[in-house]
Amino acid sequence: LLKDIVENSYQGVVITNSKNEIIYTNKAFSNITGYSFEEAKGKNPSILKSNYHSKDFYKDMWHKLIHNGHFEGKIYNKRKNGELYEEIIFIKTIKDENGNISYYFSFFSDLTELKKAQEQASYNLYHDPLTKLINQVGFFEQAQRIIEKNESFAIVYIDLDNFSTINTKFGIKK
């Protein structure tokens, strides 16, 4: 049952041995990274390294893993096809009865789709769905920023007759 749950999770799962060689991945790992288990098996998880983070970032990560027994945070990794992606990751050490690290267990979620959804929601908040022009909310926010900076500005107001009829007919239905 536990294996079925892990295998069908939406989060990527990776288990490495004490030498940091991959010994298990689930389906989500393959879906997110593009690497099959066969391609990743025996390799270091650094196959996903994006070169986005500094050496100090990884030094801090390993310090937390060794001394606290876990690390969690956001990290940029690279898919097999070279695409950079952001993930939220949790890594935990698993120790044997003598207190020595036997395994590293990690699970992670790809934040790509979440970020796209957030960007789209933000865009929709400030733009008309039919014209893609800035809407009233966006206008007032920009005007407020200009006023706060004490900058000069002018407003041009265009009134289109029956635009609400056009918007209703051709606009996005709610």
DSSP-H helix ranges across the chain: 2-7, 27-33, 37-40, 55-68, 112-126, 136-148, 163-170
Most confident of 22-31, 128-137, 153-162: 22-31
How far apart (Å, rounded) are the C-alpha atoms in residues 69 and 137?
47
What are 21-40's pLDDT values in tens digits?
999 999 999 999 999 999 99
Cross-strand pairs, 84: 78
pTM of the model: 0.72
Q: pLDDT-based confidence at 143, cuts 50/70/90?
A: confident
Beta-bridge partner residues of 76: 86
Nearest to 17 by CA among 88, 93, 81: 93
Q: Tell me the residue length of the chain.
A: 174
pLDDT tens for 38-85 read: 999 999 999 999 999 999 999 999 999 999 999 999 999 999 999 999
d(C-alpha 78, C-alpha 148), whole Å: 41
Query: Is pLDDT of 174 > 70?
Result: no
